């Protein structure tokens, strides 16, 4: 596709369940970012990938969050034992390279609701 | 630490009015980039403009214009003759230029509602 795609678009889960959120970046983009958008916190950075590598995981809110990227393309954000405070829209972005001036192209997001 | 402040949470205007969205940023770094993104009701963030810290020239693109002033650490965005389609949440963001892997630091956003 031409843009960043994310799936599912909506996910409702029960507290304590695990969820996986998927991001397909723009083809050829080596850098990939995950952000979280919630009412109280605005847009917050979670993690970035350069290729398949995520050198800095300090932005992840807790050890229940993990992310991986395979083949320099698709990325999965996994949240284990979900809590109600995890409810948010999870946004993925990609850019041509991991350079600050590169425009980040955002996907439509996955709206996660934890009951 | 870096911070972006968008003091206006919500703005409502009537079509054809001009509106300015304020953005104030904080950083001790001398090299950085500033961005504006638009988030329409569909949810997808759309890039509007990028400015680097060494370029204080104002920019105009159609009905949009941006005023970057380092002296006041501001990067304000003006929409001239607003239209209903301009209704969206607008985010100002900052990224440092001298650290690999830094991410966008966003303000909380300003919700603009344009009525006909």
pLDDT tens readout for residues B54-111: 888 888 889 999 999 999 999 999 999 999 999 999 999 999 887 666 688 999 999 9
Residue in this structure with the two tokens 């006909």, named with its chain if needed: B116
Cα distance from N-terminal residue to C-terminal residue, chain B: 41
Mean pLDDT of chain B: 92
Q: Strands, DSSP E only, in B3-109?
A: 3-5, 10-14, 19-21, 24-26, 32-39, 46-52, 59-61, 64-69, 74-79, 88-96, 105-106
φ, ψ at B84 (rounded to 5°):
-55, -35
In angstroms, the separation between the Cα of residue B82 and the nearest Cα of chain A is: 25
Q: CA-CA distance, A68 to A62, in Å (whole number)?
A: 15
Q: CA-CA distance, A69 to A78, in Å (whole number)?
A: 11
Residues in B closer than 8 angstroms to A26, CB to CB, are none
Tell me which chain B residue has its CA closest to the CA of residue A30. Answer: B101
Provide CB contacts within 8 A for A63, sequence distance 6+: none
Candidates A100, A103, A109; nearest CB to B47: A103
Best mutation target among A91, A93, A100, A112 (most B Cβ atoms within 10 Å) is A100
A89–B42 C-beta distance less than 8 A: no
| Between B102 and A71, residue with greater pLDDT | A71
pLDDT band at residue B1 under the 50/70/90 scheme = confident
Three-class secondary structure of residue A79 per DSSP: strand
At B97 the pLDDT is 84
φ, ψ at A86 (rounded to 5°):
-80, -10
At A68 the pLDDT is 96
Q: CA-CA distance, B108 to B12, in Å (whole number)?
A: 17
| Between A40 and A13, residue with greater pLDDT | A13
Provide CB contacts within 8 A for A101, sequence distance 6+: B33, B50, B52, B97
Written as six digits, the tokens of B102 are 């830094």
**Residue percentage of chain B with pLDDT more than 90:** 78
Radius of gyration over alpha carbons of chain A, in Å?
13
B74-79/B64-69 β-pairing? antiparallel
Mean pLDDT of chain A: 93
């Amino acid at each position: 596709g031409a843009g960043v795609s994310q799936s599912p678009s909506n996910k409702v889960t029960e507290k304590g369940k695990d969820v996986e959120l998927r991001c397909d970046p723009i083809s050829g983009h080596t850098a990939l970012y995950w952000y979280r958008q919630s009412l109280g916190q605005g847009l917050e950075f979670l993690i970035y990938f350069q290729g398949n590598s995520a050198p800095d995981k300090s932005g992840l809110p807790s050890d229940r969050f993990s992310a991986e990227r395979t083949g320099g393309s698709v990325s999965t954000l996994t949240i284990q034992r979900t809590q109600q405070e995890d409810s948010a829209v999870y946004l993925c972005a990609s850019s041509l390279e991991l350079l600050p001036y590169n425009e980040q192209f955002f996907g439509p997001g996955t709206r996660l609701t934890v009951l | 630490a870096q911070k972006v402040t968008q003091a206006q949470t919500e703005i409502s205007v009537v079509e054809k009015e001009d509106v300015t969205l304020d953005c104030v940023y904080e950083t001790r770094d001398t090299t950085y980039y500033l961005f504006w993104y638009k988030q329409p009701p569909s949810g997808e963030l759309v890039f509007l403009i990028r400015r680097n810290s060494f370029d204080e020239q104002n920019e105009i693109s159609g009905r949009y214009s941006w005023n970057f002033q380092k002296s006041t650490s501001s990067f304000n965005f003006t929409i001239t003759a607003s239209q209903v389609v301009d209704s969206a949440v607008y985010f100002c963001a900052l990224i440092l230029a001298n650290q690999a892997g830094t991410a966008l630091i966003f303000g909380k956003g300003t919700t603009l509602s344009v009525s006909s």
